[in-house]
Chains A and B, each alone.
Chain A
Amino acid sequence: MNIIFQPWPWYIAGPLIGLIVPALLLLGNKTFGISSTLRQVCAACIPANISFFNYDWKKESWNLFFVLGVIIGGFIATYFLSVPGQVSINPATAALLKQEGVKDFSGLLPQDVFSFSQLFTLRGFVFMIAGGFLVGFGTRYAGGCTSGHAIMGISSLQWPSLVATCCFMVGGFIMTWFILPYLLQL
């Protein structure tokens, strides 16, 4: 049982995530992808006569159940299958982040960046609101996210997904190396 409560290594977690691809195909021809649920929510709640949101979202409602499951799974894993504690990251990364202004290393996310009390600061606005906006805008513009392009797309050998995945990484490197240090100082 101990092994369940410890953090899982990549060679356990990665293959299990990979198995979601055939599981969804076999359970009903569904292609793995999370960001499309954001479009689903738009179509269901705020379609505003925009043609991109004018489709029968109910036909694809399986993915809303899927993400509801992700929320429940996150809850179960955190409250029943984990011992709370620090994420044991590379000390070099921790040292760099400390230097750049991150103070809290006690959990999965730094509370001094991501919390309600930070929401109305400039830094909080950038990390929680602007960051989220870029994720939602960019994934839809790209036609998928890490699950839809990097995992599902590359698994089915689609080269546009490989291109998109490389661009995800390039965008992430640019942000992390050249912009993020300044954003953390805000």
Chain B
Amino acid sequence: MKNIKFLIVGMLFGIILVKSQVISWFRIQEMFRLQAFHMYGVIGSAIVVGIVSILLIKRFQLKTIHDEPIVIPDKKFHWGNVYGGLIFGLGWAITGACPGPLFAQIGSGFSVIIITLLSAIGGTWVYGLLKEKLPH
């Protein structure tokens, strides 16, 4: 039951993704063609609110609801950030969806996107298989 709260936050995220049309393939096309501000506005303002929230959490040393200190693990740079990032970018412009929107599209009734999601899971699996051989 302790996971129900994450299900609820996920639901809110799904609702926002659909209502702001972030899950629309057309919106992603507009973004990459630099013909609309919408997606830049969504991602940019999300980052601003995220930055301010984390600064406040640190400033006031807020704890979790279970009274644990909040820890954000550091991300270490590796070349996968670049190579993988480029590969994901290529895929993002084709599918018009990053992983979050894939789930929301399925909920929105685009059941064929289950196939895209399965293929994305396959891609992750192949990465796991080849991880040691890839440059990082």
Contacts and interface: CB of A to CB of B under 8 A. Distances in A.
Interface in B25-84: 25-33, 35-51, 53-54, 56-57, 62, 64-66, 68, 70-78, 80-84
A93 B19 CA distance: 21
A19 B99 contact: no
A82 B15 CA distance: 10
Contact of B100 (A72, A131, A145): A145
Interface of B: 2-33, 35-51, 53-54, 56-57, 62, 64-66, 68, 70-78, 80-100, 102-113, 115-129, 131, 134
27 contacts: A15-B46, A25-B72, A26-B57, A28-B2, A31-B73, A34-B99, A38-B120, A38-B121, A42-B125, A67-B100, A70-B17, A77-B14, A89-B35, A108-B18, A129-B115, A129-B116, A135-B98, A137-B91, A139-B84, A139-B98, A147-B100, A160-B81, A164-B85, A172-B31, A176-B33, A176-B93, A183-B94
B94 A171 contact: no
A52 to B, nearest CB: 4
Contact of A20 (B13, B23, B37): B13
Contacts of A1: none
Interface of A: 4, 7-31, 34-35, 37-39, 41-42, 46, 48, 50, 52-53, 61-63, 65-79, 81-82, 87, 89-90, 92-94, 96-97, 105, 108-110, 113-116, 119, 126-147, 149-161, 163-177, 179-180, 183
